[in-house]
Amino acid sequence: MLCFLSEVLMDERRLNIISAISVIALVILIIVARVTLKLSKGFFLIFGAGVAVIVAVFAYVLISIRFNRRRRLLESQLKSEGRELRMEYSFLKKIAGVPIKFRYKELEEATDGFQALIGRGASASVFKGILNDGTSVAVKRIDGEERGEKEFRSEVAAIASVHHVNLVRLLGYCNAPTAPRYLVYEYVSNGSLDCWIFPKRLSQRRLGGCLPWNLRYKVAIDVAKGLAYLHHDCRSKILHLDVKPENILLDENYRAVVSDFGLAKLVGKDESQKVVSAIRGTRGYLAPEWLLEQGISDKTDIYSYGMVLLEIIGGRKNVCFVDDVKSKSKRKCRYFPKIVNEKVREGKVMEIVDPRLLEGGGVDEKQVKTLVYVALWCVQEKPRSRPSMAQVVDMLEGRVRVELPPDTRMVLVDFLCVDDSATDSSSLQRLDFMSNPRIQSDVECSSTYSHATTVLSGR
């Protein structure tokens, strides 16, 4: 637009110069004719023609100036209206929740050169930033090349078109032919759930504390509602596939928001399951059917959700190593879901609760039983035995009575050879199989694999 206006001004200047030269030349011609031809007939002819041309030149210049002035005014109005339309379009996109494409420079300025690191994962880092309009954001930088492109496409495709109060909102993105790529999310002020349910280590400097029981129960409902929306209310069913406390954020009112859709898959409404070639996820949350390569479904997320529920109740990781009192040089594995199942059968459900909560009181035993029963229903080995997320919401909100779930055989524990008495190095190596975020499909399995497959085949 600026180049066009400068060209218009140059044309006007050139026109004025040519007009002035023409008028001067005509005046000189008239003067010369007057001197040479006196008052003869030829002089009057030249004089009349010269005056007529001068008048025409002046008229043309006046009309051109007026026309160019109106044209510049219209162009200025169009430019102003175009700017207003672009601003209104951006505003409407923001209101409608449509992700905006950011420039790298904008994100660099918003994050002060990517200085405020608030989280780091296997292939991504998250930075806090403030946009020009004052909006606080979390900028996720996806660093990996091959995996980064896949995660970027999955995350944008999964969350760009969904809007729910318990799902993190994607504000925009910054794409590039090569890594890194950037996703811009709303900033959730109280960090991730793991900081609020697991004891804080002395070496850790982080936001968090011990979340009271009433808020833990509320978080359980919030997460269930978010996953139920993904599974039942979207045009295409969305599987999150990485449900864990680190991917559940708490806002200023301690409302839970499900985040990190890097592993998400879109599944058609008519598809009961989806087969994937690579198993990726987090130790302690992977469903047995996924480990056994029998395909994934919404029941895969439900299994992970059940594991998260157990961690919310007990305030401890589902799979952890503890020192062996008999041998200080060895460590044994403790599988919390197995302990929960045993305590429920013994009628000692309150012994499962986070001891820090019991010290302060205010724990509702009826709610504890509800959460424990729902969690054990969700971690059933057979996917068909698990409830849907919609049913989970109904159970947690008291619309459906929660019955005691059937005794679970913990086939996953047998498959991984994980037991409370496991102290030898071979058991630890087998557990490492689960700790690998990318479990390859060509892993050699023992006879337990066949037994586990037989148990799970009845879906």
* Widest pairwise Cα distance in the chain: 136
Residues linked to residue 170 through DSSP beta bridges, in sequence order: 185
HEC string for the chain:
CHHHHHHHHHHHHHHHHHHHHHHHHHHHHHHHHHHHHCCCHHHHHHHHHHHHHHHHHHHHHHHHHHHHHHHHHHHHHHHHHHHHHHHHHHHHHHHHCCCEECCHHHHHHHCCCCCCEEEECCCEEEEEEECCCCCEEEEEEECCCHHHHHHHHHHHHHHCCCCCCCECCEEEEECCCCCCEEEEEECCCCCECHHHHCCCCCCCCCCCCCCCHHHHHHHHHHHHHHHHHHHHHCCCEEECCCCCHHHEEECCCCCEEECCCCCCEEECCCCCCECCCCEECCCCCCCHHHHCCCCECHHHHHHHHHHHHHHHHHCCCCEEEEECCCCCCCEEEEEHHHHHHHHHHHCCHHHHCCHHHHHHCCCCHHHHHHHHHHHHHHCCCCHHHCCCHHHHHHHHCCCCCCCCCCCCCCHHHHHCCCCCCCCCHHHHHHHHHHHCCEECCCCCCCHHHHHHHHHHCCC
What local confidence, expressed as pLDDT, does residue 9 receive?
Answer: 55
What local confidence, expressed as pLDDT, does residue 5 receive?
Answer: 46
What local confidence, expressed as pLDDT, does residue 430 receive?
Answer: 35
What local confidence, expressed as pLDDT, does residue 443 receive?
Answer: 35
What local confidence, expressed as pLDDT, does residue 300 receive?
Answer: 92
Domain 194-456 has CATH 3.40.50.800: no
- The one catalytic residue in 242, 298, 301, 354 is 242
What local confidence, expressed as pLDDT, does residue 19 receive?
Answer: 79
Q: How many CB atoms lie within 10 A of CB 157?
A: 15
C-alpha–C-alpha distance, residues 336 and 410, integer Å? 11
What local confidence, expressed as pLDDT, does residue 269 receive?
Answer: 61
Strands 124-130 and 117-120: antiparallel
Task: Cis check for the bond before 180: say yes or no (omega within 30 of 0).
Answer: yes
- Spell out the residues 6+ positions from residue 68 whose beta carbon is closer than 8 angstroms to its own: 8, 12
What local confidence, expressed as pLDDT, does residue 423 receive?
Answer: 38
What local confidence, expressed as pLDDT, does residue 432 receive?
Answer: 38
Question: Where does residue 208 fall: left (phi above 0), alpha (psi -120 to 50 degrees), or beta otherwise?
Answer: left
C-alpha–C-alpha distance, residues 308 and 290, integer Å? 17
The answer to whether the annotation marks 105 as part of a ligand binding site is no
CATH architecture of 100-186: 2-Layer Sandwich (3.30)
Q: Where are the domains positioned within the chain?
A: 1-63, 100-186, 194-456
140: tokens are 């996720």
What local confidence, expressed as pLDDT, does residue 40 receive?
Answer: 79
**Packing angle, helices 298-314 and 336-346, rounded to 10:** 70
What local confidence, expressed as pLDDT, does residue 257 receive?
Answer: 96
Place of tokens 């409302």: 255
Domains 100-186 and 194-456 share a fold: no
Let me know: does 305 contact 390? Beta carbons within 8 Å.
Answer: no
Let me know: does 332 contact 423? Beta carbons within 8 Å.
Answer: yes
Splitting the chain (459 residues) into consecutive groups of 10 residues, what average pLDDT does each group show? 51 77 84 79 80 84 82 78 63 64 89 88 86 89 68 72 87 77 91 91 68 96 96 87 93 94 72 60 82 83 96 90 64 82 92 91 92 95 93 96 85 50 39 37 38 51
Judge whether 251 counts as a catalytic residue: no
State pTM to two decimals. Answer: 0.71
What local confidence, expressed as pLDDT, does residue 368 receive?
Answer: 96
